[in-house]
């Protein structure tokens, strides 16, 4: 297997090297496992099986970005493997049609399930578009592609213009506000990672082809399962989330929601409203905790949307007022 690469020419891959590389399929499978794990955490929070949606915490968001980034890097590497000797028009268009069609299914499915936050330009949309936009960079000097990658990655940190908030331009990712959507992977900065993957592929694939890692072939069930998953990553991406949601919906139907689900958000909202109406911030934070615990004891915490009866509403208001009044009196009595 021979691969010839320079900084000024595209990768030249022998026919033997253009076969699928199990090690890359396995890397794609590892990204799939990470993605499914993240979606499981998101689903648990969405269905109120956990006290809060940990996928929406800063750590969860960083994890989501790292997972999406790993997929996009592999897209760039895959472009080099598939088209390094010249664009293969028919396979490229068929691949674009598959991914673009899958992205459309994601949009339609999320529009039905989450109409207020449906996915209009998520990771599949970005992969589909990037798979076409990245083709010219396969044949430009590597330093040019590297500079372009850096430019795409850096631009969102310096460009935030209201004109890009228009719906028709929101796929660029340069607006002043982040659109409300469950999966947002705009071209800036994410296409930069596809370009980085192209650079990585053009520089690293020749070394990988000559290494033991590049010659690795799965011999265990786990290895064969990983490479199988990597070869069918699009199908797994489309299937896994509906399956997870169906299974976890069954779980929450049987065991019920976590009684403390939404507690942190309730306390944050309580503090915001309390301070806006003239309350002392420190007292508001303590009163929020006191009120939420009192509501839990009285089975009046209504994060699941169940309506209050008139009597329950008065009782909940009384608990809140009693908490704040007690704390306010204690604060006034303190020397």
Whole-prediction pTM: 0.82
Exposure letters 28-54 (e unless 16+ CB within 10 A, then b): bbebbebbbebbbbbbbbbbbbbebbe
Of the CA atoms within 13 Å of residue 270, those in its CB half-sphere come to: 26
Across-strand partners of 13? Answer: 3
For the CA atoms of 201, 233, 96, 60, the dihedral, rounded to the nearest 10 degrees, stands at: -80
**Over the stretch 217-264, which tens digit does the pLDDT of each residue have?**
999 999 999 999 999 999 999 999 999 999 999 999 999 888 888 888
The reported pLDDT for the residue numbered 2 is 35
Angle between helices 22-46 and 233-255 (to 10 degrees): 30
**Residue 12: in which H helix or E strand, if any?**
strand 12-13
**Over the stretch 79-98, which tens digit does the pLDDT of each residue have?**
999 998 889 999 999 999 99
Q: What CA–CA distance (Å, rounded) separates 283 from 146?
A: 53
Longest Cα pair distance anywhere in the chain, in angstroms? 85
Of the listed ranges 31-35, 208-212, 290-294, 314-318, the least confidently predicted one is: 314-318
Cβ 142 vs Cβ 84: under 8 Å:
no
Mean pLDDT of the chain: 87
Cβ 318 vs Cβ 290: under 8 Å:
no
**Over the stretch 128-164, which tens digit does the pLDDT of each residue have?**
999 999 999 999 999 999 999 999 999 999 999 999 9
Q: What is the mean pLDDT of residues 93-115?
A: 95
In the numeric block, the tokens 């040019």 are attached to: 144
């Amino acid at each position: 297997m021979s691969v010839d690469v320079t900084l000024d020419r595209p990768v030249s891959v022998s026919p033997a090297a253009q076969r699928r590389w199990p090690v890359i399929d396995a890397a794609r499978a590892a990204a799939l496992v990470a993605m499914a794990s993240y979606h499981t955490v998101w689903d648990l929070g969405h269905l109120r099986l956990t006290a809060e949606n940990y996928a929406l915490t800063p750590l969860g968001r960083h994890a989501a970005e790292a997972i999406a980034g790993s997929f996009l890097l592999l897209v760039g590497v895959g472009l080099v493997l598939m088209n390094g000797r010249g664009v293969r028009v028919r396979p490229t268009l068929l691949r674009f049609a598959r991914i673009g069609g899958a992205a459309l299914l994601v949009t339609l499915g999320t529009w039905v399930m989450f109409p207020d936050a449906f996915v209009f330009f998520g990771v599949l949309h970005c992969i589909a578009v990037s798979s076409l936009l990245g083709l010219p960079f396969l044949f430009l000097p590597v330093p040019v592609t590297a500079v372009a990658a850096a430019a795409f990655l850096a631009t969102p940190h310096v460009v935030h213009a209201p004109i890009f908030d228009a719906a028709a331009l929101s796929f660029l990712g340069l607006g002043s506000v982040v659109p409300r959507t469950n999966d947002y992977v705009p071209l800036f900065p994410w296409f930069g990672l596809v370009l980085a993957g192209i650079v990585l592929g053009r520089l690293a694939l020749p070394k990988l082809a000559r290494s033991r890692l590049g010659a690795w072939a799965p011999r265990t069930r786990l290895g064969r399962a990983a490479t199988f998953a990597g070869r069918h990553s699009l199908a797994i991406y489309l299937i896994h989330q509906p399956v997870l949601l169906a299974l976890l919906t069954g779980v929450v139907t049987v065991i019920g929601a976590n009684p403390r689900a939404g507690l942190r958000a309730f306390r944050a909202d309580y503090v915001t409203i309390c301070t806006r109406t003239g309350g002392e911030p420190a007292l508001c934070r303590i009163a929020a905790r006191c009120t939420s615990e009192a509501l839990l004891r009285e089975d009046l915490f209504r994060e699941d949307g169940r309506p209050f009866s008139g009597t329950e509403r008065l009782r909940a208001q009384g608990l809140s007022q009693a908490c704040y009044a007690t704390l306010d009196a204690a604060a006034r009595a303190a020397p």
